[in-house]
């Protein structure tokens, strides 16, 4: 299914903008906050082609898509423009009783919504910083060369002016004037204030002594400032008549909040930041093995529950306060151990679909995107996930002992290694290699990768097949592997047949229950009474027709018999629209059967496949 089709189906099952408070995306997930979770059929969304899994955590309904999540998100916004990133659609759901859990979930939602929009830019800039550090260490560049200075500006800009970026996204989350928030942040990092902060020069504000701090690259101060703006902005909006509100309310906010920030908010957040950074550094210095064990072993568990967002500001704060962060290097073994486990699955599995997914997931995990690996491979098989956590814990302890730190924020991956150059770098690399190798070896030998696979033997000539599938439509039977669509031709979704239709009536090939019926009518899923899972897809890319030329004749959940009419379609009109009308019948749980295709050529309700 292409991105536009997936976006349409997601909106349909979630309930459209009427049931969505917010939607945004991170590196691999579409993240929804919903008004009524009970209305959403999680199992049906998980069955979509293009959806790896669905996770519910931190008060969010998270649809794991993979690397093309941004494309799916943009298609969602095209269909519902009001659902732009981080914004709400309509009135938010009624607030229930405030509990610690709901408050914590709201905090995580806020933090993730603040950081995710520019996480890619920040990660890229962090990697560039690391590569520049490597270039200086290797003697390829000098810090005074023009190339270094230009590239350093490109790498450092997003971090130096981080409060401005955070102001924009935080204001969007809290629904206050984003440009006023940015103006306040710009004042905090203006050259004059930065110069005063560097010299610790005390200035006077109507008799109140003010010691400006350095707010460049900081996180907590601007977040607190936007929270203050959330309370003050409605007051000033009510104070002024609408004819001058757009000018006078921002004026009042700047006059009040900027001094308040420098006098109160900034010093408080700076103190909290300093305490927090000191606590993290102290733990790593006093009991490094414990820090490595916990972070290396349980980081991916933290990611699953979405709680990792609470630690992102902490890591960035450590860099702002101390110049380095000791947590990020410890997290790399947790990432690499999952990549190693996926590699072991790729090497050992006998399932073609799993092998393909494991191969691609290994690569994406090495580059820091572990969700497809976790949800599609290791957690799905269970043992590989647990063994990878063990490997991550061992590697994490080695890295923690090394004392290595990151000098720039970056997506934790092999590309972030240059940002760790400095004290303990060599030993930290040893920890990374150990985590990857141990994750591979443990999973390969003890992961139970093929334990659930059925031993398959070719059926004898006289054996009765476990199930017979009739042709879903009259036409000419052709090999599935000859289709122009790579997904079907590669049999990634499962084995099956293709039929060039002679009429426009699709009938049930087996007796079973309609488990999936696309509103567009171009695809239908059946679970047979004997357990096979069958997808009938009419045409290639016909989801783009948005239901035109298709008429579903059954309802989801309905039980059908062999030959029951399912969908009526106009194959000639579809072809005139420029689409192929070939009908594909796929057994999506093919790995559970020995499948035989019964010939080719003309077919009319005769058996075309057997499952044993």
What are the tens digits of pLDDT across the range 132-167? 877 887 889 888 899 999 998 998 888 789 899 989
Q: Tell me the range of 93-97, 449-453, 563-567 where mean pLDDT is highest.
A: 563-567
pLDDT of residue 116: 67
Q: What angle do CA 560, 566, 559 make, to 5 degrees?
A: 20
Q: How confident is the model at residue 556 (pLDDT cuts 50, 70, 90)?
A: confident
Q: Is 74 one of the annotated active-site residues of the chain?
A: no
- Which whole number is the average pLDDT over 394-420? 87
- Which whole number is the average pLDDT over 11-24? 85
Q: How confident is the model at residue 580 (pLDDT cuts 50, 70, 90)?
A: confident
For residue 469, the cross-strand partners are 609
Concatenating the DSSP letter of every residue in 127-179 gives HHHHHHHHHHHTTS--TTSHHHHHHHHHHHHHHHTHHHHHHHHHHHHHTS-HH
User: Taking the CA of residue 214 as centre, how many other CA atoms within 13 Å lie in the half-sphere pointing to its CB?
Assistant: 14
pLDDT of residue 427: 95
Element (H, E) at 63: strand 60-64
More confident of the two residues 123 and 387? 387
Q: Is the pLDDT of residue 309 over 60?
A: no
Kindly report the three-state secondary structure assignment for every residue of 267-317: HHHHHHHHHHHHHHHHHHHHCHHHHHHHHHHHHHHHHHCCHHHHHHHHHHH
Annotated catalytic residue, options 26, 308, 389, 522: 26
Q: What percent of the chain has pLDDT over 70?
A: 84
CB 208 within 8 A of CB 237: no
Q: Is the pLDDT of residue 191 over 50?
A: yes
For residue 203, the cross-strand partners are 210
CB 515 within 8 A of CB 503: no
Q: How confident is the model at residue 1 (pLDDT cuts 50, 70, 90)?
A: low
Q: How confident is the model at residue 310 (pLDDT cuts 50, 70, 90)?
A: low
Q: Tell me the range of 244-258, 407-421, 508-522 where mean pLDDT is highest.
A: 244-258
For residue 37, give the DSSP letter: G
pLDDT of residue 451: 62
pLDDT of residue 88: 41
pLDDT of residue 258: 93
Annotated catalytic residue, options 25, 308, 522, 537: 537
pLDDT of residue 301: 78
Concatenating the DSSP letter of every residue in 199-228 gives HT--EEETTEEE-----TT-SHHHHHHHHH
Q: Is 25 one of the annotated active-site residues of the chain?
A: no
pLDDT of residue 456: 41
pLDDT of residue 108: 59
More confident of the two residues 274 and 493? 493
Q: How confident is the model at residue 462 (pLDDT cuts 50, 70, 90)?
A: very low
Q: What is the pLDDT of residues 208-254, one digit of tens each?
A: 888 777 788 777 788 889 999 999 999 999 999 888 988 999 999 99
Q: Which residues contact 547 (CB under 8 A, 6 or more apart)?
A: 519, 520, 521, 522
- Which whole number is the average pLDDT over 274-282? 65
Q: How confident is the model at residue 464 (pLDDT cuts 50, 70, 90)?
A: very low
pLDDT of residue 226: 93
- Which whole number is the average pLDDT over 330-359? 88
Q: How confident is the model at residue 123 (pLDDT cuts 50, 70, 90)?
A: low
- Which whole number is the average pLDDT over 578-588? 88
Q: How confident is the model at residue 346 (pLDDT cuts 50, 70, 90)?
A: very high
Rounded to the nearest integer, the mean pLDDT of the chain is 81
- Which whole number is the average pLDDT over 488-515? 85
Q: Is the pLDDT of residue 454 over 60?
A: no
CB 396 within 8 A of CB 117: no
Q: Is the pLDDT of residue 416 over 60?
A: yes
Q: How confident is the model at residue 467 (pLDDT cuts 50, 70, 90)?
A: confident
For residue 284, give the DSSP letter: H
- Which whole number is the average pLDDT over 27-55? 82
- Which whole number is the average pLDDT over 559-576? 89
Q: What is the pLDDT of residues 68-111, one digit of tens each?
A: 777 888 888 888 877 765 444 333 333 445 555 556 666 656 76
pTM of the full structure: 0.52
pLDDT of residue 439: 95
- Which whole number is the average pLDDT over 376-383? 80
């Amino acid at each position: 299914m292409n991105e536009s089709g997936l976006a349409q189906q997601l909106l349909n099952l979630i309930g459209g903008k009427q049931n969505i408070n917010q939607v945004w995306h991170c590196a691999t997930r579409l993240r929804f906050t919903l008004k009524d979770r009970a209305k959403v059929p999680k199992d049906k969304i998980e069955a979509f082609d293009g959806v790896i899994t669905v996770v519910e955590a931190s008060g969010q309904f998270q649809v794991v898509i993979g690397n093309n999540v941004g494309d799916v998100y943009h298609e969602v916004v095209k269909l519902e423009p009001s659902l732009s990133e981080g914004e709400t659609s309509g009135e938010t759901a009624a607030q229930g009783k405030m509990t610690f859990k709901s408050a914590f979930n709201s905090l995580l939602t806020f933090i993730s919504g603040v950081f995710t929009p520019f996480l890619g830019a920040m990660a890229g800039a962090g990697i560039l910083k690391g590569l520049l550090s490597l270039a200086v260490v290797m003697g390829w560049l000098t810090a005074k060369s023009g190339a270094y200075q230009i590239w350093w500006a490109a790498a450092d800009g997003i971090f130096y002016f981080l409060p401005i970026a955070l102001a924009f996204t935080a204001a969007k989350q809290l629904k206050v004037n984003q440009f006023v928030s940015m103006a306040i942040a710009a004042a905090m990092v203006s050259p004059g204030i930065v110069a005063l902060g560097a010299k610790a020069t005390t200035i006077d504000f109507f008799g109140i002594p003010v010691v400006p701090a350095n707010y460049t690259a900081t996180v907590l101060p601007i977040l607190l400032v936007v929270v203050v703006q959330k309370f003050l902005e409605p007051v000033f909006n009510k104070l002024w008549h609408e004819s001058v509100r757009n000018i006078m309310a921002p004026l009042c906010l700047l006059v009040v909040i900027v001094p308040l920030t420098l006098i109160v908010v900034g010093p408080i957040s700076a103190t909290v930041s300093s305490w927090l950074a000191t606590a993290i550094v102290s733990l790593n210095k006093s009991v490094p093995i414990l820090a490595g064990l916990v972070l290396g072993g349980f980081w991916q568990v933290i990611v699953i529950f979405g709680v990792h967002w609470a630690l992102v500001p902490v890591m960035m704060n450590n860099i702002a306060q101390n110049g380095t962060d000791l947590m990020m290097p410890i997290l790399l073994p947790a990432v690499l151990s999952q990549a190693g486990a996926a590699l072991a699955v790729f090497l050992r599995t006998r399932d073609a679909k799993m092998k393909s997914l494991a191969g691609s997931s290994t690569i994406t995990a090495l580059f820091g995107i572990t969700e497809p690996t976790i949800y599609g491979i290791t957690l799905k098989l269970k043992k590989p996930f647990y063994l990878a956590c063990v490997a991550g814990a061992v590697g994490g302890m080695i890295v923690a002992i090394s004392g290595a730190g990151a000098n720039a924020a970056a997506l934790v991956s092999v590309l972030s290694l240059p940002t760790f150059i400095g004290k303990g770098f060599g030993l930290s690399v040893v920890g990374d290699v150990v985590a990857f190798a141990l994750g591979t070896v443990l999973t390969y030998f003890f992961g139970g990768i093929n334990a659930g696979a059925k031993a398959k033997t070719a059926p004898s000539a006289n054996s009765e097949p476990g199930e017979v599938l009739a042709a879903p439509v009259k036409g000419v039977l052709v090999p599935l592997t000859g289709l122009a669509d790579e997904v079907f031709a590669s049999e990634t979704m499962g084995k099956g047949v293709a039929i060039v239709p002679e009429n426009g009536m699709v009938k049930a090939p087996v007796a079973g229950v309609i488990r999936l019926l696309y509103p567009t009518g171009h695809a239908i899923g059946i679970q047979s009474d004997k357990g096979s899972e069958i997808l009938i897809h009419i045409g290639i890319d016909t989801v783009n027709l948005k239901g035109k030329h298709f008429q579903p004749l059954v309802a989801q959940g309905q039980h059908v018999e062999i030959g029951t009419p399912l969908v009526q379609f106009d194959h000639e009109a579809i072809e005139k629209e420029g689409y192929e009308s070939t009908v594909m019948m796929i057994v999506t749980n093919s790995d559970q059967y020995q499948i035989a295709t019964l010939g080719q050529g003309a077919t009319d309700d005769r058996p075309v496949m057997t499952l044993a």
